[in-house]
Amino acid sequence: MLKKLISTLLISSAVVLTGAAHAQSPATPTLNAPSAAAPIVPSAPDLAATSYLLIDANSGAVLVENNADNPLPPASLTKMMTSYIVSQEIKRGQIGENDQVLVSEKAWRMGGSKMFIRVGNQVPVIDLLRGVIIQSGNDASIALAEHVAGSEDAFADLMNAQAQRLGMTNSHFVNATGWPAEDHYASARDLATLAQAIIRDDPKSHYAIYGEKEFVWNEIRQPNRNLMLWRDSTVDGLKTGHTEEAGYCLVASAKRDDMRLISVVMGTTSEAARAAETQKLLTWGFRFFETKTFYQPGQVLAEESVWKGEQDKVELGLQDGLMLTLPKGQADKLEAGITLNKPILAPIQVGDVLGEVEVKLGDEVVHKAPLVALSAVEEAGLLGRLWDSIRLFFYGLFD
């Protein structure tokens, strides 16, 4: 069933805190954003696809989804995980870009889309990575899998471990290519999560490969199968996939100004269709939504009194900052307030939750996030603690 999530405010990672009574702090941070008339947001486009999803890459806000958690055959979208693992192994220094990879007979014989590497030849890792990403080479994928893990089966174990680490709960891999196999599947939401990880974690030089339009190997020039790279100059990745079972699939990412969107389209009927349906999502998302950063991670939002501590104040803020994706023109209508768990008693460690920030649009609470200590406060000595205990007793009588 289609779920069109076009609420008044779309948020990421809302954290609702429960517990003892909270005391309202007089400190109320202001969300500074430009004033603009709020446009009417039309319904998201209906796509001719089995499953699809559109998210903001930075806030994680879901703009629209349909069957996004259904496990489906991912075809060559699988290679996003293959390239991600290889990139991370390079980043950690486990392998090098210029390491020579010996091409096995298994890699050479693999059918489907190919880079056309030759058995017994040695090929640099970075060229194989281009063969995977740009040419969607099944042979290159197996060669890299064997180089990293010794065998494709062992590499599949790494793929599933990474999927678990990233929170991809509706995905399972049995090979490095996406070749049709039993128990090999992924959901649109999981693939969007993987795309976020690639954009966030990969070296910039590696992510840039997803935007390269062609690659020549063995005197064979092959274009990138992502038609969006030619149709929309703001698109810079990521990956296509196609098998008879999976249909035509595309995970795309585009950046306009400071906003980056990720779209996942699975199960369309043609190469042209997957590009057209992707364009619909990206156009709608960029036209009617914006992403704003209101508070940076670690930004001090308040300074509050501490009892029984060596210091009498503690700085408070949001560990992950505050970034919201919302319909254009709504930012100036938001109000934020701080609620504290009082009294605040030492000792306090950095990251201790001492309250929450609550964001409202009118009377509606649209986002909550934990308010944490940005600095540590050690416990005071015996006399200091005793004195504050007496003060707290009388403070409680008159509060």
Closest residue by Cα to residue 263 from 232, 222, 223:
232
Given 12, 83, 136, 141, the catalytic residue: 136
Task: Assess whether 76 carries a catalytic annotation.
Answer: yes
Q: Residue type at 92?
A: R
Q: What is the DSSP letter of 209?
A: G
Residue 194 near residue 188 (C-beta atoms within 8 A): no
Residue 314 near residue 354 (C-beta atoms within 8 A): yes
Instruction: Give, in degrees to the nearest 5, the angle at Cα 220 between 219 and 226.
Output: 140
Given 51, 76, 113, 141, the catalytic residue: 76
Closest residue by Cα to residue 304 from 335, 359, 348, 360:
348
Q: Read off φ and ψ for residue 168, nearest 5 degrees.
A: -85, 90
Residue 228 near residue 213 (C-beta atoms within 8 A): no
Given 51, 79, 104, 263, the catalytic residue: 79
Closest residue by Cα to residue 317 from 329, 300, 305, 335:
300
Task: Assess whether 79 carries a catalytic annotation.
Answer: yes
CB within 8 Å of 371: residues ≥ 6 apart: 301, 302, 316, 317, 318, 338, 339, 340, 353, 354, 355, 356, 357
Tokens of 45: 């486009």
> Which residue is it, tokens 């209508």?
333
Q: How far apart are CA 276 and CA 109, in angstroms?
A: 34
Q: What is the DSSP letter of 75?
A: G
Task: Assess whether 239 carries a catalytic annotation.
Answer: no
Per-position DSSP letters for 219-267, written without gaps between them: TEEEE-S-THHHH-TTEEEEEEEEETTTEEEEEEEEEETTEEEEEEEEE
Residue 298 near residue 32 (C-beta atoms within 8 A): no
Q: Give catalytic residues, as residue numbers.
A: 76, 79, 136
